[in-house]
Amino acid sequence: MEHNIKKLISEMTLEEKASLCSGLNLWQTKPIERLGIPSITMTDGPHGLRKANKSDELGLNNSVPATCFPSGSALAASWDRDLVKKVGEAIGEECIAEDVQILLGPAINIKRSPLCGRNFEYLSEDPYLISELAANYIKGVQSKGVGTSIKHYAANNQEDYRMTVDVKVNERALREIYLTGFEGAIKQSQPLTVMASYNKVNGVYATENEHLINEILRNEWKFDGIVISDWGAVNDRVAALKVGLDIEMPGSGGEEDKKIVEAVKKGQISEEYLNLAVERILNIIFKAYENKKKNQNYDAERHHQLTRQVASECMVLLKNEDEILPLKKQGKIAIIGELAVKPRYQGGGSSHIVPTKLDIPYDEITKIAGNKAEIKYTPGYELEKDEVNNKLIEEAAYIAKNSDVAVIFAGLPDSYESEGYDREHMRVPESHNKLIQAITEVQPNVVVVLCNGSPIEMPWIYQVKGILESYLGGQASGGALQKYYLAKKIHAGNLQKLFQENLETIHHI
């Protein structure tokens, strides 16, 4: 259906125009029924769909079940454009099924520091890798008629003080490091929206930053979609509108709309700025709305199997002395670590997903081994506690000593990395380190499976024979691990970020 946008704008009141520039609620744009302007729905990503359930408006605890794909740090380790595009296509299908028109992703901020609490969600420290994978993710999602929102623009590289921090960066570093991923992805794939971040850049909030939004994004890169704010990121609505921020999210109950109307009436801002924003908004609303496909379901099992395939391509074999992996299909295998039965497969915060299904690593290993190998499990530590439990370590050491090989699941618990705060160090819980140390003293054949979204210190690296970085590999990562245990041949991913030996070796922090 063709829409005469300019004619539509001419028929709108000032108040109606202003109303389009902020959300109806947490997730939807405002409709104008008398003019046939519909509302569209946005929801969080990026490694799956987090649509709020009616019982939980934010959707943080009880969102609609969706496929939890590998997080950004895992996905980037595949270094595979086509694989990432397939993930985007699958997420797009789920958006259609759940009546979502805009997915808030991908998240592509550069990994400046290993301590950023949201590193698990981001792709890499390499701007080129970021741009290539983000572009294909966007192409995948948008090929299904669903829009994306590339985020967080720009220089949002820490969680501590993210709403107030002033990022001081010279123009060369800004262009070559912090904006390159955005530039490449936007030029290649034209996402429908760009999300402006909370922080300041060189003294000006990103949502009000003329240099970032008008000069670079719109004029240089020729971006013709809409710019939306991160949720609650706007500090001066009129200033933000003037530099090209189109939609403030979430809704403010009309309070911010009134500020726009008042500013236009007082001559503080030309109505032309508002008209330009409304024109961009209407173009995207109608484009997104017309791509809706009602009563369309997705194949949850097919998506689960895709997740398993993707996760298996994303794991990185950091060490494989004496070719200890893949494991032999017979003998005694000790599976140690509570993460083997309570897997950590995603990070915390706005990207947290209620999975459609969940593979448990221990169950999957037992399943493929059958009666060919004798497998024993012991927890070794208490996942939700930092304290060392010597009794659990002693039990684990006894089982490991009487086995042919010990596979230890270790890494970062949920509380160690999440949106909203940064890590203070790169260490895993001391209970994990003590466990690994104790096992290596009684068993020469030790494999450590890491479950984490960011680099960690590994003081035991020279005492173990195998290290497999599984990252946060999504709901099917437990099944994906089968390939590394009992397969005939291993094909692993590659690191997307340098693993420093310790924090002291990083000079910029």
Q: Which residues are catalytic?
A: 230
SS3 470: coil
Question: What strands, in cross-sheet order, belong to the sheet with 204-205?
Answer: 166-167, 200-201, 204-205
Spell out a b/e string for 438-453, using b for 16 or more CB atoms within 10 Å of the CB, else e: bbbebbebbbbbbbbb
Spell out a b/e string for 368-378, using b for 16 or more CB atoms within 10 Å of the CB, else e: bbeeebebebb
**Closest by CA position to 54, among listed 29, 31, 19, 25:** 25
Question: Residue 348: how many CA atoms within 13 Å on its side-chain side?
Answer: 14
Q: At 234, which amino acid appears?
A: V
Whether a cis peptide bond, with omega within 30° of 0, leads into 455 is no
Q: Are 150 and 185 in contact (CB under 8 A)?
A: yes
SS3 74: helix
Please provide the DSSP assignment of 243-282 as one string: HT--BBSS--TTHHHHHHHHHHHTTSS-HHHHHHHHHHHH
153, β-bridge pairs: 196
Residue 52's Cα: distance from chain center in Å? 17
Q: Are 226 and 280 in contact (CB under 8 A)?
A: yes
Alpha-carbon distance of 61 to 138, in angstroms, equals: 26
